[in-house]
Each structure stands twice: as structure tokens, then as C-alpha cells.
Amino acid sequence: MSARQGYAHWLDIPTRWKDNDVYGHVNNVEYYSYFDTVINTYLIQAGGLDIHRGEAIGVCAESHCKFLGEIAFPETIAAGLRVEHLGNSSVRYGIGLFRNRQEAPAAEGWFVHVFVDRHTRKAVPLPAQLREVLARLQREPGA
């Protein structure tokens, strides 16, 4: 099985001129922006997450990125997303960033959201609609 088959959802993300650093490739901090983009686009579009008025919001508790190859402007990155663990109030995502439709990722990482009450910032159970759409993305890492 290819590395691409381990992901359940895909989003194409165009790199931007500002993403490149002085060395001519995308700066490491931008990879985390791509992670945020694929995750939150899915949560908003598929899960109905209301980032402005919803009672529950997702905050980042942990994140990690393993850089495996260079990405550079101008190219469009295929961001793969899966759910590796779905807890009561948290979710761990696996993300792969692929360039030029290659089978091997340029970067792989994980990101943990904890859902909290917007006002108290105390952990709350995942809203039912989000839980349902996140369950669709569940895959074992390396599967």
C-alpha cells in the first residue's frame, strides 16, 4: 500500500510566494499552517464547526512534523488527513503533505485538538456532528 492510501480526506493547498524562505524552499513554520488548513477546512465544511459562535472550540494541545523533503513555491500540495484517535473531548489527526502527486510524503505529522467550552476553556465532549464526520476519517497510522 502507498503512503497516500493511509489518508481518508484530501485538500489541495497552493503554496504562496511568502511561504518560501531565503533558502528557496517553504519555511518549516508554514507546514503547521498547512496542517491547520486541512484540519479546519474539514471541520468547518464537513462538520459544521462554527468558529465564530459555536459553544465548543478546538485548541491545539500538541503538534509534530517530520520533514522528509522540500516543498517550494509555486506548487500545490496535496494534504492528506486521517483521524488516529478519537477521544471524548480530543482528537489526534495524522497529516501527510505530498508534492506533485508523489506517493511518498514531503512531510508527515500529527496534531491534537482538545475541544473546550468557548468561554470557560474547560474540556467538553465533542459535538455529535463533529464526532460523526471525524469517525469517517479513522485510520491506523501506517495502515
Domain ranges of the chain: 3-135
Residues in a beta bridge with 97: 79, 107
Residue 8 has pLDDT above 90, yes or no: yes
| Average pLDDT taken over every residue of the chain | 94
| Cα distances (Å, whole numbers) of residue 110 to 39, 80, 84, 114 | 11, 11, 9, 13
Q: What is the pLDDT of residues 56-83, one digit of tens each?
A: 999 999 999 999 999 999 999 999 999 9
Q: What's the pTM value of the predicted model, to 2 decimals?
A: 0.93
CATH topology of domain 3-135: Thiol Ester Dehydrase; Chain A (3.10.129)
**If DSSP codes are grouped into helix, strand and coil, which group holds residue 131?**
helix
The three grid cell numbers given for residue 108, joined into one nine-digit string: 508527515
> Letter for the amino acid at 102?
Q
Which candidate, 79, 80, 93, places its Cα nearest to that of 134? 93
